[in-house]
Amino acid sequence: MARAALPGRLSWQIGRVVDTIQETRRAKSLVLDLPNWPGHRAGQHIDIRLTADDGYQAQRGYSIASAPEDDGVMLTVDRLEDGEVSPYLTDVVEPGDEIELRGPIGGYFVWDPSLSGPLLLISGGSGIVPLRAMLRDWAAARPQVKVRLLHSARSLDDVIFRDEIMRFAAFDEVDVRIALTRAWPEGWRGHRGRIDRDFLERAAWPPQDAPRIYVCGPTGFVEAAAAALVETGQRPDTIKTERFGPTGG
Amino acid sequence: MSPISRGFLGRRRSGGDPSRVPPGQHVTKGFPVLSAGPTQHTPLPDWSFRIDGAVKEPSSWRWEEFLALPAEQITVDIHCVTKWTKLDTSWRGVSLDTLLATIETDAEYLTAWCDGGYTTNLALADIVDGKAWVTYEYDGGPVHPEHGGPARLLVPHLYFWKSAKWVRGLTLTPTDEPGFWETYGYHNHGDPWLEQRYQGD
């Protein structure tokens, strides 16, 4: 017998994949139609549960790339070479497939347009996924809040949502700075190398401007960026972090 | 009933004894880092561990005093709500039974509090009788700051967010007061074997 959902309970539900978008060589977006989606806030994530035909199950969490006001919930998955779940999502899943999931999850690493203060978004690699939801939320609401995105990727081709980021950069209130760590196109005028203390000192608002800071990416990236932010005087309690472990696959 | 994921094979039992892996978890060899904010670095001269709140007399230990307490070597499996499980992790630290031995209280709950403002709530029953420690060594060396050093709470029978990093004290409370993740929708108790990940699980 079906058990009634408790208030606030995160029930598993079945989503249907309505579209897939190859974002970069490694990253793919899945757009899902979710009949029972309660809505979400930018920055939240979902849990996916896959089931093999013998009943074996695997669960992983993925950040939501879509803004609350978007149609459908979009997940953007970075394919980890030795992953168990991500290669399935990027290589096997097609429109029409069903995916079991629940969410939204997480109430701390979230942003909404009512929040004051300049918004400083710092991401490495697929860490841009939840920040893209925040940027889209910002663009839909256009609050009187300045935004700066500092994003690090191996090469320009590895920048997920590259075209969209460039469109965000066209807003007067939005400033985008890309750091490329491995390869640079000819004449590249952006940052070369990792997002480090020097770069953050130049690119971040000073602490007295009280930026609201979100840092997302692989553990090493987040550790380094968050430590450098604290070293440059940013208040630790203004820095929210989301770390992707090597087992996020 | 979960639908079959078309074409999903999975990579089962890749990491060890399945009877030691709770539902929905997979084994990792690494030690992923998950924290809501920057890593804390508390100088040892400034460090102390305090037990206060609904107690007859609070207790407090400075770092050297803490190291002088009877310590135990602990080897346990740990389970993170983000789905990884790490088998046979080895720690050294002080049992909460030792720390609570001289504490008189009628309280049944406590809040563990930490540098950086993190908190998590626990029932007293979940941390006594050899179930929890305050650890300062991991794998034979100091607990790395990323993993919660200088001292980290270790409550291995609950999801690992209960094993608070950078722990500095326990405040005993007459009522159960949700901590940091518990107020953001995570389960109040967090038993991995019952898959108590989120509120209502």
| pLDDT above 60 for B179 | yes
User: Phi first, then psi: what are they for B13, rounded to 5°?
Assistant: 50, 30
Q: Which residues contact B64 (CB under 8 A, 6 or more apart)?
A: none
B85 neighbourhood in chain A, CB within 8 Å = none
Contact of B36 with B186, CB cutoff 8 Å? no
Please tell me the distance from the alpha carbon of residue B112 to that of residue B127, in angstroms, as a whole number. 11
Q: Strand (E) positions, B7-158? A: 26-27, 48-53, 59-62, 72-79, 84-95, 109-114, 119-123, 133-138, 141-142, 152-154
Look at residue B130 and tell me if it is in a domain.
yes
From first CA to last CA, the distance across chain B in angstroms is 16
Contact of B103 with B62, CB cutoff 8 Å? no
| pLDDT above 60 for A6 | no
pLDDT of residue A247: 42
**Min CA distance, A189 vs chain B (Å)?**
30
Please tell me the distance from the alpha carbon of residue B112 to that of residue B167, in angstroms, as a whole number. 7
Look at residue B25 and tell me if it is in a domain.
no
Contact of B152 with B163, CB cutoff 8 Å? yes
| pLDDT above 80 for A84 | yes
C-alpha distances (whole Å) from B161 to each of A104, B49, B90, B187 are 19, 19, 18, 10
Domain that holds residue B114: 45-194
| pLDDT above 50 for A214 | yes
Contact of A74 with A31, CB cutoff 8 Å? yes
Mean pLDDT of A154-179: 96
HSE-CB of A157 using CA atoms within 13 angstroms? 5
Contact call for A247 and B38, based on CB within 8 A: no
Mean pLDDT of B1-25: 85
Look at residue B22 and tell me if it is in a domain.
no
pLDDT, tens digit (0-9, with 9 covering 90-100), for B59-100: 999 999 999 999 999 999 999 999 999 999 999 999 999 999
**Min CA distance, B61 vs chain A (Å)?**
26
Look at residue B172 and tell me if it is in a domain.
yes
- CA A146 vs. chain centroid, Å, equals 19
Please tell me the distance from the alpha carbon of residue A82 to that of residue B172, in angstroms, as a whole number. 44
A26 band by pLDDT with thresholds 50, 70 and 90: very high
Q: What is the largest CA-CA distance in chain A?
A: 65
Contact of B197 with B81, CB cutoff 8 Å? yes
**Min CA distance, A195 vs chain B (Å)?**
16
Closest CA to B27 of A162, A249, A226: A249
What type of residue sits at position A197?
R
Q: Residue holding tokens 């130049």?
A: A202
pLDDT, tens digit (0-9, with 9 covering 90-100), for B144-175: 999 999 999 999 999 999 999 999 999 999 99
| pLDDT above 50 for A179 | yes
Look at residue B11 and tell me if it is in a domain.
no
Please tell me the distance from the alpha carbon of residue A38 to that of residue A102, in angstroms, as a whole number. 10
pLDDT, tens digit (0-9, with 9 covering 90-100), for A219-244: 899 999 999 999 999 999 999 999 88
B200 neighbourhood in chain A, CB within 8 Å = 5-10
Torsional class of B83: left (φ above 0), alpha (ψ -120 to 50), beta (otherwise): left
A248 band by pLDDT with thresholds 50, 70 and 90: very low
The percentage of residues in chain A with a pLDDT greater than 70, rounded to a whole number, is 95
- Residue B24, chain A, CB below 8 Å: the answer is yes
pLDDT of residue A244: 81
| pLDDT above 80 for A7 | no
Please tell me the distance from the alpha carbon of residue B39 to that of residue B31, in angstroms, as a whole number. 15
pLDDT of residue A114: 96
What is the number of other CB atoms lying within 10 angstroms of the CB of residue A42?
Answer: 27
ipTM of this model?
Answer: 0.88
B11 band by pLDDT with thresholds 50, 70 and 90: confident
Mean confidence (pLDDT) of chain B: 94
* 3-class DSSP assignment, residue A54: coil
Domains with residue ranges and CATH for chain A: 13-105 (2.40.30.10), 119-244 (3.40.50.80)
B122 band by pLDDT with thresholds 50, 70 and 90: very high
pLDDT of residue B14: 55
pLDDT of residue B13: 56
Q: Strand (E) positions, A4-90? A: 13-22, 27-33, 45-51, 57-63, 73-78
Look at residue B7 and tell me if it is in a domain.
no
| pLDDT above 50 for B112 | yes
| pLDDT above 60 for A130 | yes
Question: How many domains in chain B?
Answer: 1
Contact call for A98 and B84, based on CB within 8 A: no
Partner-chain residue, chosen from A58, A102, A239, that has the shortest CB–CB distance to B10: A58
pLDDT of residue A49: 97
| pLDDT above 60 for A116 | yes
| pLDDT above 90 for A207 | yes
C-alpha distances (whole Å) from B13 to each of A247, B19, B22, B27, B195 are 15, 10, 12, 8, 19
Q: Which H or E run contains A140?
A: helix A128-141
C-alpha distances (whole Å) from B67 to each of B51, B64, B92, B134, B141 are 16, 5, 10, 11, 14
Look at residue B12 and tell me if it is in a domain.
no
- What's the angle, vertex CA B136, arms to CA B130 and CA B142, rounded to 5? 145
**Min CA distance, A88 vs chain B (Å)?**
7
CATH number for the domain harbouring residue B63: 3.90.420.10
What are the beta bridge partners of residue B186? B198
pLDDT of residue A4: 44
- Residue B9, chain A, CB below 8 Å: the answer is yes
Look at residue B55 and tell me if it is in a domain.
yes
pLDDT of residue A225: 97
Please tell me the distance from the alpha carbon of residue B137 to that of residue A68, in angstroms, as a whole number. 44
| pLDDT above 50 for B49 | yes
